[in-house]
Amino acid sequence: MRDPNRSWTRNPWWHDDFGGAPRWFLIAVIAVIVIGAPVTIVLGSRSAPPSKAGAEGASLAVAPRPVIAVIGDSFTSGPLDGASTDATWPELLATSVDADFQVLATDGSGYVTYNPKASRDTFSTHAGEVRKDADLVVFFGSRSDVNQGTNVFDAALIALAVAARQVPDAQVLVVGPAWADIAPPIKILEDRDALSRAAEEASVRFVDPIAEGWLVDGEALTTDDGLYATEEGQKYIATKMSALIASALDDIGLSTG
């Protein structure tokens, strides 16, 4: 009979040793053999924290690839008839940066203009087709709106509003029309200015290829009619766009690797 005044110093039954091994260890082994159930044995009161290198490695492993939607004109789509086999600038970037590209570009399209030989798609139409998981929406152009005057302002606001509704959390970058001439016509300058005002009203970044002298550095960067970028022209645009895209993604804490 147990003495109630005596202190109880004997270990619980699962701490008894059997052949030098504690009984709880043998029970765990038997559970694995007989039941086939996995058993985790934790030694100590808490596990060691993961190493900094391991934590960073896990973070990098699950980092999502940015999704970039590109809306553009003939400088982005290439010729409608497929006569050119040159890679377009989004295709070039897709092979060199760690991102997913969605290209929504039609030869002859713009904020106002559409190509009846291709579709009735304008930039607003394409904005409504942007992937819901897009991180960045890039508008580039459009030289096709050269004769649209003040219509560009209203049409651009509509396109930007559609994009904002489609992907409200995405960053938006508006790149104006490019023109392969050091002295572009007044009509394209008016369209550029209208687009700049629309971007300002929508509080999105605007980049002006005409002011920056894109495609006018003396090399054969466009076709003779100025409608399409040549192979070298596409590489040139890809270089320009790569820096702009990297900057836009950096603003929202993303990277193309």
Task: Convert the pLDDT of each residue in 106-148 to its tens digit.
Answer: 999 999 999 888 788 999 999 999 999 999 999 999 999 998 9
Residue 63 has pLDDT above 70, yes or no: no
Place of tokens 């920056």: 212
120 is a domain residue = yes
204 is a domain residue = yes
Instruction: Report the CATH number that the domain containing residue 124 is assigned in CATH.
Output: 3.40.50.1110
Do 129 and 74 fall within a single domain?
yes
Pairing of strands 21-22, 17-18: antiparallel
Model confidence band, residue 54 (pLDDT cutoffs 50, 70, 90): low
Domain membership of residue 237 as a residue range: 65-251
Do 121 and 167 fall within a single domain?
yes
Q: Looking at residue 255, what is its pLDDT? A: 84
The predicted-structure confidence for 70-90, as pLDDT tens digits, reads as follows: 999 999 998 865 555 679 999
Q: Looking at residue 86, what is its pLDDT? A: 73
Q: Looking at residue 178, what is its pLDDT? A: 94
Q: Looking at residue 227, what is its pLDDT? A: 87
Structure tokens at 199: 């971007």
Do 39 and 78 fall within a single domain?
no
Do 34 and 86 fall within a single domain?
no
7 is a domain residue = no
Do 120 and 190 fall within a single domain?
yes
Q: 144, 123 in Cβ contact below 8 A?
A: no
Q: Looking at residue 16, what is its pLDDT? A: 47
Q: Looking at residue 225, what is its pLDDT? A: 85
Total domains present in the chain = 2
Do 40 and 76 fall within a single domain?
no
Asked if the bond preceding 142 is cis, omega within 30° of 0, the reply is yes
Model confidence band, residue 36 (pLDDT cutoffs 50, 70, 90): very low
Structure tokens at 27: 């029970």
Q: Looking at residue 241, what is its pLDDT? A: 97
CA atoms within 13 A on the CB side of 125: 15
Do 34 and 77 fall within a single domain?
no
Do 132 and 229 fall within a single domain?
yes
**Over residues 211-234, mean pLDDT:** 88
2 is a domain residue = no
